Amino acid sequence: MGMVKFYKGGDMPLELHKVRVVQKLHLVPVERRLDAMKEAGFNTFRLGTKDVYLDMLTDSGTNAMSDNQLAAMMHADDAYAGSQSFERLQKAVEDVLGKKYLLPVHQGRAAENVICRTFVKPGNVIPMNYHFTTVLAHVTENGGKIEELLHDHAFQLKSDHPFKGNMDIDKLEKCIQENGVENIPFIRMEASTNLIGGQPFSLANLMDVRRIADKYGIMLVLDASLIGENAYLIKQREENWKENSMGEILKMMTGLADLVYFSARKLSSSRGGGICTNQKALYAKMEAMIPLYEGFLTYGGISVREIEAMAVGLRETLDESMICQSPSYIKYLVEELEKRGIPMVTPPGVLGAHVNAMEFCKHIPQEEYPAGALAAAFYICSGIRGMERGTMSSVRDEEGKEILADVELLRLAVPRRVFTLSQINYVIDRMTWLWDNRHLIGGLKFTYEPPVLRFFMGGLEPTSDWPSKLMDKFRKDFGDSL
Ligand SMILES: *Cc1c(COP(=O)(O)O)cnc(C)c1O
């Protein structure tokens, strides 16, 4: 599906869609890219898109919409209460995710706010395969803490383990026994574990987690923001589920959870989110919070047009030829870069390709942000914007010393059906050039460091004049080419 064989061997990702609306992009010359990077304080978050050729910052709210989604947006029903658009979304959630009761919220973290306010009490512990930034914030905000229970091998960046997002069941049982059932309001499983490189869990593992949840009578919550891609990789990689349809696998996954929530920015459209369940009592516990924080129960802070797009987008996740598009591009990108010796997180996961910056920039100390430096250098030589996921995105301790991150990654997000294969080939070519010239990349230091979430708006400068030297080498090798 979406992958065909090359005549002389190897896999070629093949688009099963055509482009009918386009947006103009700008590839500005390398001199402008260097200036833009300086103006942005060597922080890719601060670049303006007029200077960005391929925006690979994130997959959030950036997937391409289908003709059917855009058409559905035209017949949205903007009644404040009792909207037919909401009824269509409810029906789609029931058909695709198998849950009858739906609470709409404006995006994924709003679902986490409602769930954590309802169930997390001070001193509680939430076992999870791995955290996402927003869920960690909401658990902590309500006085709880998290326990991350991935297998140790999940942190090996180069691996051929097909399910690095699996929860370690022994660690889970130990965690429950040590903390006491009464202190654990729920277990959280995240589909396609975002922060470790978009790595899936297996259905067998989710069944094991369910068995433990039943044994101790603990609720199981599934973060389904990236469930479509996780289901697709189960079909690809898990022997027992090869013959099943996407719809069957999705229902099997959600059927094991008491409560399912999602960010529709990733799952189905460009805005919105939801919480769903088949247990009326769980629904009733959270219901009152929707009008308080989000909006009336039939729109939850989402525009009705987006609700229509969510409903159609949810049904489209059943289409394997649609859902496979981003993972098959990522697989191609990761494998081609690996062939050229570039250190990548493997196996290829979902949402983007992840470059191991600690390996790429071995000569840059972690205190000088190798992943941030790699992101800046890659922008200068390509016009492509990626995201630093390393120490720059971390924090300092009370004494002001850097808390060094476990991994230093450059993430190149591949939103669904947005890029063409020649653009992906351009990514490969420019990354290969940078790999050959990696000795020219130097470190960064902060000039403006916000006290919280410094990676968003912080400003940095190079520790030497390496960016100009990189530009000069680019000019030497590429002549007057962009
Ligand atoms: C993005 C994301 C969220 C948060 O969703 P928002 O819509 O950005 O608030 C939660 N969980 C996962 C796994 C995500 O990828």
What is the full per-residue pLDDT of the chain (482 aa) written as tens digits? 678 999 999 889 999 999 999 999 999 999 999 999 999 999 999 999 999 999 999 999 999 999 999 999 999 998 888 899 999 999 999 999 999 999 999 999 999 999 999 999 999 999 999 999 899 989 999 999 999 999 999 999 999 999 999 999 999 999 999 999 999 999 999 999 998 899 999 999 999 999 999 999 999 999 999 999 999 999 999 999 999 999 999 999 999 999 999 999 999 988 999 999 999 999 999 999 999 999 999 999 999 999 999 999 999 999 999 999 999 999 999 999 999 999 999 999 999 999 999 999 999 999 999 999 999 999 999 999 999 999 998 878 889 899 898 889 999 999 999 999 999 999 999 999 999 999 999 999 999 998 878 888 999 999 999 999 999 999 999 999 98
Q: What are the backbone dihedrals phi and psi of residue 5, each rounded to the nearest 5 degrees, phi first?
A: -85, 140
Q: How far apart are CA 262 and CA 479, in angstroms?
A: 48
Span from the CA of 116 to the centroid of ligand 1 (angstroms): 15
Q: Best of 59, 189, 194 to mutate for ligand 1, by most ligand atoms within 8 A of CB?
A: 194
What are the catalytic residues? 80, 132-133, 223, 266, 389, 455
In the beta sheet, which residues pair with residue 410? 355, 388
Question: Which ligand 1 atom lies nearest to the CA of residue 107?
Answer: 7
Residue 215: which residues within 8 A CB-CB, separation 6 or more? none
Q: Find the 137 Cα to ligand 1 centroid distance in Å.
A: 12
Contact partners, residue 455, CB within 8 Å, separation at least 6: 43, 45, 388, 392, 393
Closest ligand 1 atom, residue 135 Cα? 10
- The whole-angstrom separation of Cα 276 and Cα 258 is 9
pLDDT of residue 341: 98
Residue with CA nearest ligand 1 atom 8: 108
Ligand 1 pocket test, pick from 135, 195, 225 with the greatest ligand atom count within 8 Å of Cβ, gives: 225
Q: Atom 10, ligand 1: which residue's CA is nearest?
A: 108
Helical axes 466-478 vs 30-39, angle rounded to 10° = 160
Distance set, CA 222 to CA 196, 218, 251, 322, 336 (Å)? 17, 13, 12, 23, 33
CA–CA distance, 402 with 393 (Å, rounded to integer)? 11
Residues with CB under 6 A from ligand 1: 60, 107-109, 132, 134, 190, 194, 223, 225-226, 263, 265-266, 273
The residue nearest atom 3 of ligand 1, judged by CA position, is 108
What is the SS3 string spanning the chain? CCEEECCCCCEEECCCCCCCCCCCCCCCCHHHHHHHHHHCCCCHHHCCHHHCCCECCCCCCCCCCCHHHHHHHHCCCCCCCCCHHHHHHHHHHHHHHCCCEEEEECCHHHHHHHHHHHHCCCCCEEEECCCCHHHHHHHHHCCCEEEECECHHHHCCCCCCCCCCCECHHHHHHHHHHHCHHHCCEEEEECCEHHHCCECCCHHHHHHHHHHHHHHCCEEEEECCCHHHHHHHHHHHCHHHCCCCHHHHHHHHHHCCCEEEEEHHHHCCCCCEEEEECCHHHHHHHHCHHHHHCCCCCCCCCCHHHHHHHHHHHHHCCCHHHHCHHHHHHHHHHHHHHHCCCCECCCCCCCEEEEEHHHHCCCCCHHHCHHHHHHHHHHHHHCCECEEECHHHCCECCCCCECCCCCCEEEEECCCCCCCHHHHHHHHHHHHHHHHCHHHCCCEEEEECCCCCHHHHCEEEECCCHHHHHHHHHHHHHCCCC
β-strands 387-389, 409-413 pairing: antiparallel
Side by side, the strands of the sheet bearing 409-413 are 352-356, 409-413, 387-389
**Mutation to probe ligand 1, out of 134, 267, 293, 326 (largest number of atoms < 8 A from CB):** 134
Q: Which of 128, 138, 266 to mutate to test the pocket of ligand 1 (most atoms within 8 A of CB)?
A: 266
Can you read off the two tokens belonging to residue 107? 């995006």
Q: How many angstroms does the Cα of residue 322 sit away from the middle of ligand 1?
A: 21
CA 114 to chain centre: 21
Side chain identity at 65, as an amino acid letter?
A: M
Identify which of 150, 233, 154, 155 has the alpha carbon closest to the alpha carbon of residue 192.
Answer: 233
d(CA 461, CA 39): 10
Provide the whole-model pTM: 0.95
CA of 9 to the centre of ligand 1 (A): 38
Q: What is the model's pLDDT at position 398?
A: 86
**Which tokens belong to 203?**
């259905």
CA of 263 relative to ligand 1 center, distance in Å: 5
Q: What is the CA(29)–ligand 1 centre distance, in A? A: 35
Atom of ligand 1 nearest to the CA of 273: 7
Ligand 1 centre to CA of 432 (Å) is 31
Q: Could you tell me the two tokens for 432?
A: 């290969």
Index of the ligand 1 atom closest to the CA of residue 351: 15
Looking from the CA of residue 110, the nearest atom of ligand 1 is 9
